[in-house]
Each structure stands twice: as structure tokens, then as C-alpha cells.
């Protein structure tokens, strides 16, 4: 068991918490592989460039990532009071979610399984470090 009072344990856990602005979409109806194609395109880019990339990307996943990126930017602006021009995509990843299993009837009484995959998509933003002027 953990040592200390319950409030002390909570205080220590919250001190280790990541305070970077982020947005998470759970149970997105897109497979991890398809979501990663879009996420790989924006990883490390500044927020405005990333938003432009996903806005004009023809893939289905870009529609989902666009809304999620806008949400992360709004969180940074409203909750953390950060400047939008200094933000960049620090992390973005898609984790595997549950799979819906469906049956597709085939010839001679057989049934093929269709797996409809889901994913949990997360975007974490961070502020660029200001360069020191000499």
C-alpha cells in the first residue's frame, strides 16, 4: 500500500501530472492505421501549419483530426492562457480501441467476420521556447 494520508498521495500524484494542453477523442470510428497516416503528417509542426495540412488533406481521418486539433488549440487558449502563434504539436498518437464484430453472410451458409475497428486519438500541444536575444 502507499504511504501517507490520502490527500498527500493525491497531492503527489497531481504534482506529476502533465500540464500541457491536449485533446482526446475516445472511440473514434477509424482504425489506428488510417488515423496514423494523418497524425504523422502533423507531428512536430506548429499549430497553424498543422491545421492547414489537415484541412486540405483528402483522407477521412483528417476530418476527425481537424476537429480534435481545433479543440486542443481552444483548450490551450482558454484554459492555459497560451498564445496560439507559439503552439506546436508536441505529441499526437492513436491507440487501439475496442473492435465491433459483425457477420457478413456468404455462400453455402458460411459467415465471414467483419471487424469494425475503433481508436482513441490524442493530440498534445506545447509552447515553443523563446530564443534568448544577445
pLDDT digits (tens, 9 = 90+) for 23-37: 999 999 999 999 999
In a domain, 91, yes or no: yes
In this prediction, residue 2 has a pLDDT band, given cuts at 50, 70 and 90, of low
Q: How confident is the model at residue 133 (pLDDT cuts 50, 70, 90)?
A: low
pLDDT (0 to 100) of residue 28: 95
Domain encompassing residue 110:
20-127
Question: How does the average pLDDT of the chain come out, rounded?
Answer: 90
Q: Find all residues with CB under 8 Å of 76, minimum gap 6, and list them.
A: 21, 82, 84, 87, 125
pLDDT interval class at 11 (50, 70, 90)? confident
CATH number at residue 108: 3.90.470.10
Instruction: Give how many domains the chain has, as a whole number.
Output: 1
Residue 1 lies in a domain: no
Give residue for cell 500500500: 1
For the stretch 72-110, pLDDT in tens is: 999 999 988 888 999 999 999 999 999 999 999 999 999
> pTM of the prediction?
0.82
User: What tens digit of pLDDT does each residue of 120-129 get?
Assistant: 999 999 998 7
* Dihedral sign for Cα atoms in the order 84, 124, 42, 35: negative
Whether 35 is covered by a domain: the verdict is: yes
In degrees to the nearest 10, what's the CA dihedral of 7, 12, 13, 17? 130
Amino acid at each position: 500500500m502507499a504511504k501517507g494520508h490520502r490527500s498527500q498521495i493525491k497531492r503527489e500524484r497531481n504534482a506529476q501530472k502533465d500540464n500541457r494542453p491536449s485533446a482526446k477523442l475516445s472511440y473514434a470510428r477509424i482504425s489506428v492505421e488510417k488515423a496514423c497516416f494523418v497524425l504523422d503528417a502533423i507531428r512536430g509542426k506548429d499549430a497553424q501549419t498543422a491545421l492547414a495540412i489537415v484541412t486540405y488533406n483528402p483522407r477521412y481521418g483528417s476530418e476527425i483530426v481537424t476537429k480534435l486539433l481545433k479543440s486542443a488549440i481552444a483548450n490551450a487558449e482558454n484554459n492555459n492562457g497560451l498564445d496560439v502563434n507559439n503552439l506546436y504539436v508536441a505529441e499526437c498518437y492513436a491507440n487501439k480501441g475496442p473492435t465491433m464484430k459483425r457477420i457478413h453472410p456468404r455462400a453455402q451458409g458460411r459467415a465471414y467476420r467483419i471487424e469494425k475497428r475503433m481508436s482513441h486519438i490524442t493530440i498534445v500541444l506545447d509552447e515553443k521556447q523563446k530564443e534568448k536575444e544577445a
